[in-house]
Amino acid sequence: MEKDRTYFEGLIARYFSKEATPAEIGELSSWVTESPENEAVFSESRYAWMAFEEVRITGLADVDEAWEAFKERAGINEETKSAVVSRQKVVSSRQSAVGSQQSNIPRAIPMYNILLRVAAVLIILAFPAFHLYKYLQQPAIKEFAAGTGRAETLLPDGSHVMLNSGAVIKYPERFKGKKRAVSLDGEAYFDVAHNASKPFIIATDGIRVEVKGTSFYINTRSWSGDFELVLTSGKVELYFENQPGQARVLNPGEKAIVHGNQIIISTNTDANYMAWKTHKISFNNEPLNSVAATLSKVYQANVRLGNTSLAGCRLTATFDNQSLESVLNVLKATLDVDIRNSGSLVEISGKGCR
């Protein structure tokens, strides 16, 4: 199907905003040389872009006001007033400004700058404004990954995120619109900057977590395969993407597990849910299979039991920023077990406990 002029106007906007691919640049070049009319469209777009950039950089026009007027005319903001009224106000205000300055223009500002000022507004409101708006205003998506160790980052709104090994978060370079949306794969701890008018939303595999300012632990792929969330402070709404009207609310100290199509909320009884971040571990008569799972997460190691009879052994101990080797020595002395540590695998063996 033959591509129309609107398509190439969008391609021109991508070219000037430095977002066009080499293939798109080649396609645009061929189109421009096809006819004098196409060349004229490209030239007019280039002059318009240069005028817009000069005004934006020098601040000779109220570009923000012009964009707001354009959004109203295009119906981008549902709460705006009539597009016709908005455009009349913008154009009228610009005409009044020019009229009042024609008799007394400071010599430091040449006449062509005044004309450029008016032209820039008209460009934004008329000549391919939709494409300028789309490509100038759409923020790029960034990706931050923890790799083989823990890593932390600040999001554009000041929210703090710590990722556990292998976790990945994607977010826009700046939050626009009425929501702060990010996506997460893996295990992380969020301390979200408060903004009551702009909810913070985490998306992952059909599940949505919505907050306004709070701290919480989240794991999109726990060892059991379930989604887990533990709320530290504030309030969280948890729901399925296709059922936003059936959100479940969590209060501090509560834990949510998403198992299949169910959201199960209970009081959090896992004292070590943040041990991977704090390296402070506390076991109170904890079964050895649970101890092994916690040590695996905290020390990024594969700790497993050599036989099922060991699961009945229980441990009571506290560790504060101790090495895995130190913790394993305590296990050996306390539970009379043998431990083989090959670096990639830690195997606990022994007779077991009654």
Q: Are 199 and 211 in contact (CB under 8 A)?
A: yes
Of 267, 286, 302, the residue that ends a domain is 267
End-to-end CA distance of the chain: 76
Residues 170 and 58 in one domain: no
Q: Is the pLDDT of residue 16 over 80?
A: no
pLDDT in the model for residue 189:
97
Q: Is the pLDDT of residue 90 over 50?
A: no
Q: Cα–chain-centroid distance for residue 225? A: 23
Model confidence band, residue 110 (pLDDT cutoffs 50, 70, 90): very low
Residues 10 and 111 in one domain: yes
Residues 20, 9: contact at Cβ < 8 Å?
A: no
Q: Is the pLDDT of residue 344 over 90?
A: no
Q: Is residue 61 part of a domain?
A: yes
3-state secondary structure of 59: coil
- Say whether both 54 and 128 belong to one domain: yes
Q: What is the mean pLDDT of residues 156-168?
A: 94
In a domain, 315, yes or no: yes
Question: Would you say residue 354 lies in a domain?
Answer: no
- C-alpha–C-alpha distance, residues 271 and 291, integer Å: 12
| Residue where one domain finishes, among candidates 219, 237, 267 | 267
Within this chain, do residues 79 and 197 fall inside the same structural domain, yes or no?
no
CATH number at residue 324: 3.55.50.30
Where among 137, 155, 186 does a domain terminate? 137
Domains of the chain: total: 3
Phi-psi region of 206 (alpha: psi -120 to 50; beta: other; left: phi over 0): left
- Residue 97: its pLDDT value, please? 47
Q: Check if the beta carbon of residue 135 is closer than 8 Å to that of residue 76.
A: no
**Dihedral sign of CA atoms 109, 114, 119, 125 in order:** positive
Cα separation, 246 vs 237, in Å, equals: 10
Residue 53 has pLDDT above 80, yes or no: no
pLDDT digits over 311-330, tens only?
Answer: 889 999 999 999 999 999 99
Same domain, 129 and 242: no
Query: Which is more confidently placed, 37 or 107?
Result: 37
Q: Are residues 184 and 117 in the same domain?
A: no
> Are 251 and 174 contained in the same domain?
yes
Domain carrying residue 253? 141-267
In a domain, 115, yes or no: yes
215-269 residue pLDDT tens: 999 999 887 778 999 999 999 999 999 999 999 999 999 999 999 899 999 999 9
What is the value of pTM for the model shown? 0.59
